[in-house]
Amino acid sequence: MNQPDIDWKHLPFGYYPTDYNVRCYFRDGKWGEIEVSQSDKIELHMAATSLHYGQELFEGLKAFRGKDGKIRIFRLEDNGTRLQDSANGILMEPVPADLFREMVIKAVKLNERFIPPYGSGASLYIRPLEIGISPSIGVRSATEYMFMIMVTPVGPYFKTGFGCTDICIMRQYDRVAPRGTGRYKIGGNYAASLAASHHAHEMGYSAVLFLDPKEKKYLDECGPANFFAIIDGKYVTPKSDSILPSITNRALQQLARDMGIEVEERHITVDELEKATEAGACGTAAVISPVGTIHDEDTGKDYVISADRKPGPVCTALYERLNAIRLGEYPDEYGWNTIVE
């Protein structure tokens, strides 16, 4: 296998072109054949619903190369299910589970030479994407859809990797509405978060810890990730209808329980951060990004979670266990990995 000349250990979380992508169209009420393309361009009608009315959704999952040389894709089925939920949420055509699975595996296999080597800390990020392609000027859902999967090798999402990062609370922005689309993985939510993220970055913070959009009382989504904290020795994470149900967070909850740590999914008020001994942003891209300080821009208060700027013991244990499972070094008790034959 002719591996590309990449500095795997210093890969950013960015777009690196790979050899192939896979595509499938929904037309005349049915999904067609899977197509393989070497072009990273698509041709689109200028009145496509995705361009005008935001009919776009995506997913994010990763493939890893283990010490045993095997390729493992983490929680593929769950991403497929969530993609269907997002599709139903904004009236797009859900991609059947079998088609999703076949296309993910195909995209990974075709680009095998871009799967980072074991030990590099990098992974192959898999980005499934669906868009409405039929033209409409009236506000309605499309009759035709394009589903595609591209892959790209990536390093850590937050520059600090598994080092502490600082985040901030700002009340002047909402990412989503209380009964809006926050629980779906659709482009519109990310567009709605850009100004807030930009503001946070300008102030030196890596992400915004959004508060619930109704009362601004409870912790909600953490930029492009879920949030958790260790409070009174428990793994506590927001219960909210306006955050994405993170597959990583669900995995971490299971691993925490396995380690004898109680898990609570509940409303968390801002002032409870005083009691947090550890905190993290979690997601496919973020994995676990331990949080150093949380700055409240409106009150001026700093919640110092990690005074020594080191990841705490629970974050470290969860991170190591999660990685060990994904690399095939710890038993995959819950069947989370799909091994690519």
Considering beta carbons, is residue 133 or 219 the nearer one to ligand PLP? 219
Q: Which does 289 bind (CB under 5 to 8 A by kind): ligand PLP, ligand COI, none?
A: none
Residues 262, 288: contact at Cβ < 8 Å? no
Residues 189, 58: contact at Cβ < 8 Å? no
DSSP character at residue 135: B
Q: Which does 230 bind (CB under 5 to 8 A by kind): ligand PLP, ligand COI, none?
A: none
The reply to whether 283 sits near ligand COI by the rule CB under 6 A is yes
Segment contacting ligand PLP (CB under 6 A): 158-166, 269-277, 283-291, 332-340?
283-291
The reply to whether 156 sits near ligand COI by the rule CB under 6 A is no
Closest C-alpha among 128, 65, 43 to residue 328:
65
Looking only at residues 217 through 256 of this chain, which bind ligand COI when binding is defined by CB under 6 A? Answer: 224
When binding is defined by CB under 6 A, the residue of 60, 132, 182, 280 that contacts ligand COI is: 60
Looking only at residues 35 through 64 of this chain, which bind ligand PLP when binding is defined by CB under 6 A? Answer: 60
Reported in sequence order, the residue ranges of the chain that DSSP labels E, i.e. its strands, are 21-27, 30-31, 35-37, 56-58, 61-65, 71-74, 123-132, 145-154, 165-169, 207-211, 219-222, 226-231, 234-238, 263-266, 276-283, 287-296, 302-304, 337-340
Residue 321 C-beta: closest distance to ligand COI, Å: 19
When binding is defined by CB under 6 A, the residue of 93, 174, 212, 221 that contacts ligand PLP is: 221
Residue 287 C-beta: closest distance to ligand COI, Å: 9
CA dihedral 76, 81, 83, 85 (to 10 degrees): -160
DSSP character at residue 180: S
Residues that bind ligand COI (CB under 6 A): 60, 224, 283-285
